[in-house]
Amino acid sequence: MYHINKNFHTFKKNDQLIKVLNNLKKYSFKTSRLILFIVDNKNRCVGTVTDGDIRRFISTRNNLHEKIYNISRKNFIYINENDSENKILRSFELLINKRGKYLSIPILDNENKIVGLLDYDQYRSYILAKKKIIRARIPARVSFSGGGTDFSSYLNYDDSQILTSTINKFSTVSLLFRSDEKVNIINRPIKSFVKLNHYNEIKNQKRDLIIETLKMIKPEFGFDLEILSDFDIGTGLGGSSSVCVAVLAVFNEADPKNKMDLNSLCNIAYQIERIKLGIKGGWQDFFSTSYGGFSWIELDKKDILVNSLKVQESYVNELEHNLLLFKVGKSRKSSLIQKKNFKNKYSKTNVLKMKKISKEMKKYLLTGKIKKFGDLLDESWSLKKIISPYSSNSKIDKIYNLAKKNGALGGKLLGAGQSGYLLLYVSPAYQETIKKKLKKLDAKYEKLRFISTGLKVWITEK
């Protein structure tokens, strides 16, 4: 059942305006939400008066002894207790057409006595809460080459190219509309639970990625927001950036009149994470996960262009057949690593080498030369450690060197580095050996599959 406001004011037909004003001194008449009800001697509603009606009467007549009934609207719009949803919506539509704004509608019983008020915004929340769940699912990504050159500090002077693909690990954000004004935020990946009595309290909450995103959105309704993920945030798969986009996406879907395109969602997510919160990092995570599939991302001084690569299915199958994914270590704060790397000056020579490797990897991927693609993973990782010297550590080097010693052609640590996921190119003949060897170093093997999709948003019934 929708919320009925029981806080309403009634006056008798013969009450004078001055009596009404004296009884309502605590109201400043600054809001058009105030509505008074005029009743006869049997308490049946016979008219309504708003603060606007009173102001207009005083400005033209200035007669404080006028009977309030004479000022009231006798042909007021109302609904009955058992009216259908369709009838209620049409009543609000009629009211809006007459008054040009959302007001409260009185609810009358069978004897025309007032039961309460129905506020449009609260009824809208009730309708949404009754019917809708908006979900957004966004995949993780692996970056094959070009990482570390997608920072604005670099792009302001030179261009960059990144080769990425999305994989079968997902984060899912669900927006459930409430019939009240409360807010619950359930961020399961980081075990965070926030309960608020009113959506206006969001602005007073401690800064984090989700709260800062909601501050940017400024929702004006109650809701539950739940975040789930197949993988730990902070493990090099673009998780935090993609979740930020997904949160923006569900609220974007809730506001069809002001919907933004995918590029705008990515840019706003970047603004929240990199500028508002000061979390160091590049641009690729927002765009690669949102657009999905194999992507060739071109970045320069002016803009970012995501090119979808149409890789032949047999080449994708062969690549999957030869790639192993290992989780090594726990989550880490990529921003702390990036801040250290940030102090390292870019070498023009090394960046040119990285660009060359990226272009060659793209060429080999599109032409099906998958073994050569694997060889270049090793070159790309070696160069990444020079460009971003804090991307590895002794533990990662030990694991990587053991893998190469036992047959791996190449590989790389994903994301900022030092922990997270290690991607290795290994011929099937050596895969079981490497799995067993790396397991002893606490490297956990996980199945890898490439997917062709990016951000997906849909609406479902409760």
pLDDT in tens, 251-288: 999 887 788 999 999 999 999 999 999 888 889 999 99
The answer on pLDDT for 311 being more than 90 is: yes
Are the C-beta atoms of residues 307 and 397 closer than 8 Å to each other?
no
Residues 111 and 254 in one domain: no
Residue 381: the pLDDT is: 87
Residues 63 and 183 in one domain: no
Residue 462 lies in a domain: no
Are the C-beta atoms of residues 448 and 355 closer than 8 Å to each other?
no
Residue 180: the pLDDT is: 84
- Final residue of a structural domain among 97, 118, 139: 118
Residue 130: the pLDDT is: 63
Residue 459 lies in a domain: no
Cα–Cα distances (Å) from 233 to 23, 28, 186, 452, in that order, read 58, 50, 15, 22
**Residue 241: closest CA among 193, 274, 201:** 274
More reliable by pLDDT, 422 or 32: 422
pTM: 0.72
Residue 119: the pLDDT is: 80
- Final residue of a structural domain among 118, 147, 182: 118
Residues 370 and 340 in one domain: yes
Question: Which segment of 61-65, 311-315, 373-377 scores lowest on mean pLDDT?
Answer: 61-65
Cα separation, 289 vs 243, in Å, equals 10
- Final residue of a structural domain among 89, 118, 147: 118
The domain that holds 80 is classified in CATH as: 3.10.580.10
Q: Structural domain tally of the chain?
A: 2
Residue 353 lies in a domain: yes
The answer on pLDDT for 125 being more than 70 is: no
Name the percent of the chain lying above pLDDT 70. 90
Residue 332: the pLDDT is: 44
The domain that holds 374 is classified in CATH as: 3.30.230.120
DSSP strand pairing (223-229 vs 183-187): parallel
Residue 386 lies in a domain: yes
Question: Which segment of 131-140, 159-168, 390-399 scores lowest on mean pLDDT?
Answer: 390-399
Residue 425 lies in a domain: yes
Residues 92 and 219 in one domain: no
Residue 336: the pLDDT is: 42
Q: What mean pLDDT comes out for the span 378-398?
A: 84
Residue 392: the pLDDT is: 81
Question: Which segment of 19-33, 108-122, 232-246 scores lowest on mean pLDDT?
Answer: 19-33
Residue 457 lies in a domain: no
The answer on pLDDT for 88 being more than 80 is: yes
Residue 66 lies in a domain: yes
Residue 344: the pLDDT is: 52
More reliable by pLDDT, 337 or 183: 183
CB atoms within 10 A of CB 259: 11
Q: What mean pLDDT comes out for the span 303-327?
A: 96
Residue 149: the pLDDT is: 79
Residues 112 and 226 in one domain: no
Residue 341: the pLDDT is: 42
Are the C-beta atoms of residues 116 and 6 closer than 8 Å to each other?
yes
Residue 454: the pLDDT is: 97
The answer on pLDDT for 415 being more than 70 is: no
Residues 114 and 168 in one domain: no
The answer on pLDDT for 417 being more than 70 is: no
Encode pLDDT of 56-78 as tens digits: 888 888 788 999 999 898 988 88
Cα separation, 13 vs 9, in Å, equals 13
Are the C-beta atoms of residues 362 and 296 closer than 8 Å to each other?
yes
State the chain's mean pLDDT as an integer: 86
Q: What mean pLDDT comes out for the span 381-409?
A: 88
Q: Find the domain containing 271 and state its range.
A: 131-451
* Contact partners, residue 21, CB within 8 Å, separation at least 6: 54, 64
Beta-ladder partners of 421: 327
Q: What mean pLDDT comes out for the span 408-427?
A: 84
Residue 347 lies in a domain: yes
Residues 23 and 83 in one domain: yes
The answer on pLDDT for 94 being more than 50 is: yes
Encode pLDDT of 187-238 as tens digits: 998 888 999 999 999 999 988 999 999 999 999 889 999 999 988 877 788 8
Residue 339: the pLDDT is: 47
Query: What is the SS3 assignment for 123?
Result: helix
Residues 113 and 144 in one domain: no
Are the C-beta atoms of residues 324 and 426 closer than 8 Å to each other?
yes
Residues 137 and 47 in one domain: no
Residue 155: the pLDDT is: 83
Residues 300 and 400 in one domain: yes
**Residue 290: closest CA among 246, 240, 252:** 246
Residues 141 and 101 in one domain: no
Residues 88 and 222 in one domain: no
